[in-house]
Structure 1
């Protein structure tokens, strides 16, 4: 299970049941994804940039 915390969102990878369990756990603490990202920044969790990300839109 991996969690990628970005400036514009969150990407969770893993088995479907792992992702569902993780999201249920985080809904107890956070209402919005924005809150999750801000809390990650305050806890010194590495927030990755979306530059050169495989899901980034090509311009």
Structure 2
């Protein structure tokens, strides 16, 4: 991840704290899955199935 701050000359460190069993954790999992899809790691059928699973994961 690349972070830019206008006028900042020093290196910027970012720490993400994700609380277990929260919506944020599920969204992070969805983002990771989408990154794998973009990278071509999944077939078309797996992509369709993953979209359904994303919706289930967010609302359970």
Q: Does TM, normalized by the shorter one, top 0.5?
A: no
More strand by share: 1
Query: Could you say which structure has the larger radius of gyration?
Result: 2
More helix by share: 2
Q: Given the two structures, how large is their TM-score scaled by the length of structure 2?
A: 0.30
Flag the structure with more relative contact order, 1 or 2, with Cα contacts below 8 A and sequence separation at least 6.
Answer: 1
